[in-house]
Chains A and B, each alone.
Chain A
Amino acid sequence: MTATVVREDQAVGGGARVSAALWRRAWLRATLTLSPPLAWFLVIYLASLAVMLLTAFWTVNPFTNALERTWTLANFQQIFTGTYLTIIGRTVIMAAAVTVTDAVIAVPFAYYMARVASPRGRQALFVAVLLPLWASYMARVYAWIVILQKGGTLSWTLSKLGLGAVNIGYTNTAMWLVFSYIWLPFMIVPIYAALERIPDSLLEASGDLGARNWRTLRSVVMPLALPGVAAGSIFTFSLTLGDYITPLLVGGASSNFIGNAIYSNIGTANNLPFAAALAVVPIVIMIFYLLGARLFGAFEAM
């Protein structure tokens, strides 16, 4: 009997021995399985972030553009000057405005999708919400340029209706419209998911206890939808915060975002250290935003 076992072991060879060793040492198995993704995360993601942070404390030689590895806080001090505070303020206000706009539009829309529409209607609405995501971001932004520019579709339609021409192309209003349009699906889907999850029994219980529709909506549906709104707002807020293409294409003379300032420092000025210091700003803003969103249960709804 013993002999047979030994022979089998020899026959199967090293592979079996390795797997046996792994089975006996669970920690080794876990380490081997997890280390490639963990290494990827550490090296590609965290290390590059760390290098960027490090660069933010260096400077460039203004003449040769060579990096000078001397420690300085000058880049961060420069951020706290009027120009950059204006740019940061504009970016944050726009991100907040887009988030609020999308939430106001998305809540009733998602409620209709999740709780009113027939299954067939729900499917159609889903396709309608997601369809724009199939088209290129750039194509959709360009479409908006055509709609909003002087003599464009919007202006033409309004003037035909006798409401007078509008010329809001290349303004911050145009940016607000375009951002709100582009990120809307990212708000609708999480809210839909949150609303769909509400058991019918809760609504029935609310009715049984004498609450009317409005009261049920306010006291039962809305609190349960809030995590969805918070989750969606993470997308709309962070996507707006980090964008630089829409300001470039749709914005006017005063439309620079943090991303544009970073971009011009990498491109035109080739001042990587200052660009790195500026890049820290949206990271810090998002850390605070995520901490706030967690209070509203955003991560349970994701």
Chain B
Amino acid sequence: MKTWTRAGALLAASFAAMLVAACGSSGGSTSGGASGTSGLTPPQANTAVPASVGKGEGQLNLIAWSGYAQPQWVKPFEQATGCQVSTKYGNTSSEMVSLMANGGGGQYDLVSASGDADLRLIYGGDVKPININLIPSWKDFHPFLQSPPFNTIGGKHYGVSYEFGPNVLLYSKQAFPSAPTSWSVIYNKQYSGEVTVPNNPIQIADAALYLSRTQPSLGIGDPYELTQAQFNATVNLLKQQKPLIKKYWDLASQEISMFQSGTAVVGAAWPYQTNTLVAAGAKVADTIPSQGATGWADTWMLATKAPHPNCAYKWMQWATTPKVQAQQAVYFGETPANKLACPIMDQLSKGACANYHADAPEAYFKTLKFWKTPLKQCGNGKNDCVPFQQWVTAWTQITG
């Protein structure tokens, strides 16, 4: 999701972004994420955290999504702290997990991991707990991002939340005079050949979320923790949906162009697409239907073998300040974790705060099920859930 957003946001500027493929994103569910891995203990759970931030080491090595280390907030950081930032851009969540192998290998300090990578990094022992009291802006976060289950296990924070966004239902106002209230429209034969959804295995969770409300007999609770039977039912729904799909989009720009030309009239999207289309005069709108929606959330996580921990803490402090949060949100088209960023977003781009729902009430965020890596270990210590690799295989079968 991450890369997509990124690729989408940057594509207008460069065709090269096309080669950036899309991938996974972030987040953990707002409920029960920790229980999903009961019986497992993160290898670094007992690693001591510093009581204060010492003098900077003069260097900081980041693994980041492209667009996450822009000069407008990196340059002032370097001047203020003396930490020279060098960034390695990761294209996908899995690539980030690979780069972070062996605790960052003594090379990398921080990674802007998405929720679908977080648990892999935590349980792989590649990231270690931080002292959240050293991040002053943390108290200004939306409450649901202060200790979310995708980056906080057993009260230990394996990093600090950064930015997030929902996966919304985008529709053409010509085809839908009134806003659709259910995700059922993207499974409805009436819109055959006019539906578009992201080309990403984690899209299975969107279908599972829909089934959790429309077919309660399946007993789906967390859309990222599916038993084989629940998983099969979800994959069946997606196979039935396939004939309705015009295209599984890889880049935000593809979806934008399909809605602009009227090729697609309804689909799954990010607020970025809606805002771009509306700004271009297209008659579209988005909504979060009654079943709720999935979303992504990113976390700056500290490498177990971080060679520059003080600069890393300084970066986490800097990246969560209202100004940087607002700059990042407007640059990329997402929502900041820090509530105080809202007025600055509006200064940077008129209406940005409301467009990206940064001022929404807590109840709105409760409707979002943040992405997280599907693991074999699921609720109540059972080990019968379908892991991510099988999600990838199933997605290839659906789209192949």
Contact = CB atoms under 8 A, between A and B. Distances in A.
Given A151-B262, A261-B396, A267-B94, A251 B247 contact: yes
Contact of A249 (B94, B97, B254): B254
B250 A248 contact: yes
A268 interface: yes
Contacts of B250: 248
Contacts of A263: 21
Interface in A219-272: 245, 248-249, 251-254, 256, 261, 263-265, 267-271
Contacts of A256: 396, 399-400
Interface stretch (A47-55, A79-87, A190-198): A79-87
A36 interface: no
Interface stretch (B292-300, B318-326, B357-365, B384-392): B384-392
Interface in A167-220: 167, 169-170
B261 A267 contact: no
A145 interface: yes
Nearest to A60: B389
A268 B257 contact: no
B18 A245 contact: yes
B92 A170 contact: no
Contacts of B123: 63
B242 interface: yes
B94 A64 contact: no
Contacts of B101: 64-66
A138 B15 contact: yes
A159 to B, nearest CB: 14
Nearest to A149: B261
Interface in B12-28: 15, 18-19, 21-24
Contacts of B400: 83-84, 86-87, 254, 256, 261
Contact of B94 (A138, A169, A269): A269
Most chain B beta carbons < 10 A, residue from A84, A138, A150, A151: A150
Contacts of A249: 18, 254
A62 interface: yes
Interface string B92-136: 101101100100000000000000000010011000000000000
Contacts of A297: none
A238 to B, nearest CB: 20
B174 to A, nearest CB: 13
Contact of B200 (A245, A248, A268): A268
Given A170-B246, A252-B247, A64 B97 contact: yes
A261 B400 CA distance: 8
Nearest to A78: B393
B397 interface: yes
Contact of A83 (B18, B245, B397): B397
A169 B98 CA distance: 37
A282 interface: no
Contacts of A254: 242, 399-400
Given A64-B124, A271-B389, A150 B21 contact: no
A169 B246 CA distance: 9
A136 B224 CA distance: 41
A146 B37 CA distance: 48
Given A149-B257, A267-B22, A253 B248 contact: yes
Interface of A: 62-66, 82-84, 86-87, 136, 138-139, 145, 149-152, 167, 169-170, 245, 248-249, 251-254, 256, 261, 263-265, 267-271
